[in-house]
Every structure is written in structure tokens, then in C-alpha cells.
Amino acid sequence: MALLERTSGPRGGNSGASPVGRSRRSLAARRERRERRWSPGPDLDRQRPSRSLLVALGLASATLMTLDLTAGGAALDPVRGVVADVVGPAEAGATALVSPVLAVPDFFRTHSSLREEVATLEEENTALRAELGSAAFQRNRLAAYDELTATAEDLGYSLVPSRVVGWGPAQSFSSTVTIDAGTDAGVQPDMTVVSGAGLVGRVVSAGRTTATVLLIIDPSSTVGARIGDTLDMGFLTGRGVVGDEGRLDLELVDRTAVPARADSVVTWGSDGGAPYVSGVPIGRVTRVYSSLRETSQRVVVDPYVDFGSLDVVGVVVPTGTTSDRALVGPDGELSGESDGAEQ
């Protein structure tokens, strides 16, 4: 019984005092945790600079500023030099490392700009090549016009300038060309056609804007001609051949006449200047063949005109002809266009 009382006595006492003790301990623990949470702690106090250090730094800064102002900066030049010697290499190294990275955007912008410049230069190069290619053509055409004006002055006739725009057989002829001048320009059938080199042919038909010219190399073409040095007369016919083998055959009226090699041959002229005016150069003598059976001479003539490269030609017209374009006058000068051309 005594043992039971001793055992139960303390348990009863503990059970009566335990709730109050636990509550007090719980409140104390929460207060301790709250104070620990909001207190700076010993580590933070150790990290804060001391007031004496702050005061020392402020005084040092003020002293340096005073020296820099009073001595004009000379007092700190040694310090600046030391700092520059130390920091300069570091800055140079950093710049060397960073510069390639910073230059990447400029590289792409520059690359794109260079591509555009290359494309522009290629276009300009193509245009220059085209101009260079056409320069020779334009130069040759200008020379042909100059020769045509000289021909008009030498012959003393007015000419309608025109260009060859077609080649081929026409009507019953095999060797004809089409020119870009017709009746509107004053061109009519049976007019003489010349170039800067000599006789080309005659007009066989004419429309408003174009005309067909029978070339003297056509086999059906016959031109009255004479030897320029001896004035021996004859009839000139073509062979229908263009190029180096394109020759003309001249049969002289005087079968006993023997022209010399390289003698010039010109037109003797038709009545009224149609279809051929007189004095137009045709070619030069290259060979003379004699026929004992027929007691005649066959003269081979090399024409002055290169019929394979005809371009600029002139049609002989009477002075004062109304035309849709400027005419080359007998003096070699261009006359004004007609009223119809101006409209």
C-alpha cells in the first residue's frame, strides 16, 4: 500500500502541473525563435565596416581631392602612372578578347554591304561590256554616214540616207535588199542606190516606208559602164555571188580595146539619170580574157562595195525632193526635214 501511494503520488502531482509548464516552455521557445529570426546575428555584425574605417576612407578621399585641385593634378601623376601601368595591360587584353565578339554584327553588316556592292559592280560591268560591244558597230555606222556625205559631195547629187533592213530574192530577181526608205522619203523606182564605197544597184519597187533594190551582182542586172582611164564603154553584168568570189563581168563595145589591170570602172549614165546616174564608181579591173574566136575581151571587175555587209546606203534623188527625213545635199551637208516629217 505504501509503495502504491509513493508511486501514484508523484504521477498525480506531475499530471496536475504539466499543462502549465508545457505552455510556458512553448511560449519561451516561440519568443526565442522570433528574436533569433529578426536579430542581425553575430556574422552580420562582423561583416559591417567599422565607423573608424569609414571615417578614414572619407578623410583619404578628401585629402586626395584637395591635392588634385591645389596642385593642378601634378601631385597625383605618379599614382596615375602606376595605375595606368597596372590597369593598361588588363584593359588591352580585355579589349582584344571582347573586340571580335563586338565586331560580329559589323561583320554581317559589312558582308551584306559588300555583296550589294559586288552585285552593283557586276551590273555595271555587264552594261560596259554591252556598250563596248555596240561601240564598234556604232563607230562603223558613223563612218558609213560620213562616207555617204562625201559621196554626195563627190557626185554632186542629193541622197536619201537609209539602212538595209532585209536581204533576199524579190520579184524575179535573186539578189535584192530592202531599205527603210520609201515614197514618203522621196524614193521612186529606177533611182540609183549608192554607198560610201560605190554603186549598189537601182530601185525596182517602192512602198510608202520601204523599197526594194536590185543589186548589180544579180545575174539579170545590166549596167552601162566605162573604163575610167580610157573611157571605153561596155555592159556590166553580175554573177549572183557574194563575198570574195563576187565578181562582175564587163563586155566592152570596142572588142579590140584591152584595159589595164587595176583600171577603175564607173557608170556612163542613163538618159535622165534613170536608172543610173553617171560617174558612180563600180570597181576595178582584175583580169582580162581574150577570145580569138569571137575577137573580144572579157573583163573581170572586182566591185568596190562589199555586198555581204551592206548597211547604210543612199538613194540619188533630184535636188529639192520632199522627204520625211533629212537629205544629204550635193555639198555634203544635211538639209532640213520636210513638213510631213515634222508632223
Whichever domain contains 309, its CATH number is 2.40.10.340
Same domain, 183 and 235: yes
10 pLDDT exceeds 80?
no
Final residue before a domain boundary, out of 155, 187, 222: 155
> Quick one: which of 248, 258, 263, 249 has its CA closest to 295?
258
**By the 8 A CB rule, do 185 and 325 touch?**
yes
Final residue before a domain boundary, out of 155, 178, 207: 155
Same domain, 112 and 250: no
Same domain, 188 and 265: yes
Q: Is 114 a member of any domain?
A: yes
Final residue before a domain boundary, out of 90, 122, 155: 155
CA dihedral 42, 47, 48, 50 (to 10 degrees): 100
Same domain, 171 and 317: yes
Same domain, 165 and 61: no
Give the three-class secondary structure for 82.
helix
Question: What is the domain count for the chain?
Answer: 2
In this structure, are strands 233-238 and 211-215 parallel, antiparallel, or unpaired? unpaired
pLDDT of residue 276: 95
pLDDT class of 255 with cuts at 50, 70, 90: confident
Using left for φ > 0, alpha for ψ between -120 and 50, and beta otherwise, residue 56 falls in alpha
Same domain, 233 and 251: yes
The domain of 267 spans 158-329
Q: Is 44 a member of any domain?
A: no
pLDDT of residue 342: 39
pLDDT of residue 134: 66
* Residue range 77-103: mean pLDDT, rounded: 65
Q: Across the strands, what pairs with 312?
A: 163
pLDDT of residue 3: 42
- Higher-pLDDT residue of 128 and 300 is 300
